[in-house]
Structure 1
């Protein structure tokens, strides 16, 4: 008989929103296994299918039709919760206001991973790792809710909690523009790096990147391209500089004490990028149309620009403890 506690995670990964929502909930699930049985519901977009497949998670992942009506999705989730006897549902949805899921009828404990100030009304816990998170909520409207707010609460994989702090051999400039990179910033950044003569470049592309063959065709053989990398920590720790977007990757990088050059690709990322720059852990070079001179300067002079940086301390374990206490 299976007496494990059960958690349901609901997030998506697609070309429009990227992969960070789903990846962060997969990261989160690491803290509950094997004590808890973890389930995922995601829409059947190619990026999500790829993510689950690469990680061998097909058995616990339920994929629903991307065109499903919202009312039907709500019914599906309610039925799934009842069938599997779920104790907690964790939602990280950015395609619609998160509080639209207040329509769920189940009395299951609800946890909101929220970035816009619209958590589920009856959330037991709200987590928001934006730097301006405290400005988004009327706390009097959520008297029974615990809040975990600020960049220190980013959902990092367990491996990031024990990052080596000694001398590490830094080998290359790493370009990692997220799971989908729908604007193909990877191509633009790599072309610039080659133009300014950066000798050692490594490129990581995600499950939704559409220009793989075109990218490979312009690269010399010595530039390595890796796809769907699970162990990103090792890649960050081997990099002299990481160039990324302002999504989950940027938060991961700053916790490794690796110099970061960051480009915002969605409006909500701008505040995060500016915050990282303000505390000395990154250089923010623009929103989509980035400053090419700033990028070149950051890469060529990284040892001067990033010396003596501050290091944020992860607090995700405080959140995990609170989640385990509500069941």
Structure 2
């Protein structure tokens, strides 16, 4: 049996789906050998897959509609295929399901009926009733099923008491297509209270020299830049800084698992639910739609959010991580009768 992960990542869509799938691969590796199927993997992705010790299956470059029958013809009935992406719709899933494999979908979009045997969504507040699924679908929903890499699970920490914030870690993903990093860095640099700023970007981010020029205008603040940060180093960076500024994506969940104060928000629709959830439950402070914040309003919004984080106790995102629940769900798939899967 193989567990085959199908996800894409590039400069346009970022690496979120790839990183999330690799986190799940780490969790379920005891169940079966893990493979990763992807089109046009960049050198950075190849290195990422090598670090996570998964077998690379480089798919032919072709439209998704043509890929589905190709992949369905290649997989075996004993395989578990995990789909993580916004192109793997009902038609794609139907072809894979008819191949007889066990089908898993990581689905936080809920945009179409799902034919997966197992649905995973680690977003909070989600219920099976929100999905159009088959009667035999098993669900793994909520923060207890968070798809985080091993170092974040190992260093889980509940929130500590509020304290002064003098250092901030800034991370808007590997590509940052909205160029939010520059806007937030400029706003943080103008705050006299912040003495140290860490900036994390990916290899697809082309504006680091421009950010360095901006930082040079504020010599009183120490600014450090990091690219393609591996999970152990990311844990260290999060632990080293007093607070984090990031979108409501995997980096937010990673930060909350380490007990860090976070200022978050969203710039795409699928991030809004998590941003609203953590704000309403006092787990983090959300600025709402990042792209809708006027330039003159960004600094006051940051000041208010930082002040709240320094004064108001935060609630835990989860009480205790439970990756063994995901392992159990995959072992359940192993035990299904192949004759009844299609």
Assess same fold via TM > 0.5.
Answer: yes
Give, in whole Å, the separation in 2 of the partners of 1:59 and 1:235.
26
Structure 2 alignment gaps of length 5 or more: 335-342
Does residue 92 of the first structure (1) align with residue 84 of the second (2)?
A: yes
Question: Which SS does the other structure have where 1:242 is aligned?
Answer: strand
In structure 2, the CA distance between the partners of 1:52 and 1:205, relative to structure 1 (3 Å rule), is: same
Q: Residue 7 of structure 1 corresponds to which residue in structure 2? A: 3
Give, in whole Å, the separation in 1 of the partners of 2:107 and 2:154.
26
Question: Which SS does the other structure have where 1:39 is aligned?
Answer: strand
Q: What does the per-residue CA deviation read over 1:165-196, in whole Å, with 9 as the maximum and x for residues that have no partner?
A: 48899873100111221011111111111111
Equivalent residues, number:
315
Residue 274 of structure 1, CA deviation: 0.6
Q: Among 246, 249, 257, which residue is 2:248 paired with?
A: 246
RMSD across aligned positions (CA):
2.7
Q: Among 278, 282, 296, which residue is 2:303 paired with?
A: 296
Give, in whole Å, the separation in 1 of the partners of 2:135 and 2:271.
29
C-alpha contact (below 8 Å) 1:101/1:120 kept by paired residues = no
C-alpha contact (below 8 Å) 1:130/1:150 kept by paired residues = yes
Give, in whole Å, the separation in 2 of the partners of 1:158 and 1:299.
29
C-alpha contact (below 8 Å) 2:144/2:318 kept by paired residues = yes
C-alpha contact (below 8 Å) 1:10/1:42 kept by paired residues = yes
Q: Residue 131 of structure 2 corresponds to which residue in structure 1? A: 137
Does residue 115 of the first structure (1) align with residue 108 of the second (2)?
A: yes
C-alpha contact (below 8 Å) 2:140/2:326 kept by paired residues = yes
Does residue 224 of the first structure (1) align with residue 231 of the second (2)?
A: no
Q: Residue 72 of structure 2 corresponds to which residue in structure 1? A: 78
Q: Residue 329 of structure 2 corresponds to which residue in structure 1? A: 322
Q: What does the per-residue CA deviation read over 1:25-81, in whole Å, with 9 as the maximum and x for residues that have no partner?
A: 0011112336522111122264xx413314525972233455x12343123322432
Greater relative contact order, per chain length (Cα 8 Å cut-off, separation 6+): 2
Q: Among 148, 165, 173, which residue is 1:178 paired with?
A: 173
Q: TM-score, normalised by structure 1?
A: 0.86
Q: Among 46, 51, 57, which residue is 1:52 paired with?
A: 46
Q: How does 1:163-174 map to 2 (within 5 A)?
A: 163=155, 165=157, 172-174=167-169
Q: What does the per-residue CA deviation read over 1:219-239, in whole Å, with 9 as the maximum and x for residues that have no partner?
A: 238311010111222222222
Give, in whole Å, the separation in 2 of the partners of 1:282 and 1:101.
36
Give, in whole Å, the separation in 2 of the partners of 1:237 and 1:44.
34
Q: Residue 26 of structure 2 corresponds to which residue in structure 1? A: 30
Q: Residue 62 of structure 1 corresponds to which residue in structure 2? A: 57
Give, in whole Å, the separation in 1 of the partners of 2:82 and 2:54.
19
C-alpha contact (below 8 Å) 2:174/2:204 kept by paired residues = yes
Give, in whole Å, the separation in 2 of the partners of 1:32 and 1:131.
21
Does residue 309 of the first structure (1) align with residue 315 of the second (2)?
A: yes
In structure 2, the CA distance between the partners of 1:164 and 1:90, relative to structure 1 (3 Å rule), is: closer
Residue 264 of structure 1, CA deviation: 0.2
Range moving further from structure 2, 259-268 or 88-97:
88-97
Residue 86 of structure 1, CA deviation: 5.5
Give, in whole Å, the separation in 2 of the partners of 1:149 and 1:23.
19
C-alpha contact (below 8 Å) 1:112/1:119 kept by paired residues = no
Structure 1 alignment gaps of length 5 or more: none
Residue 98 of structure 1, CA deviation: 5.5
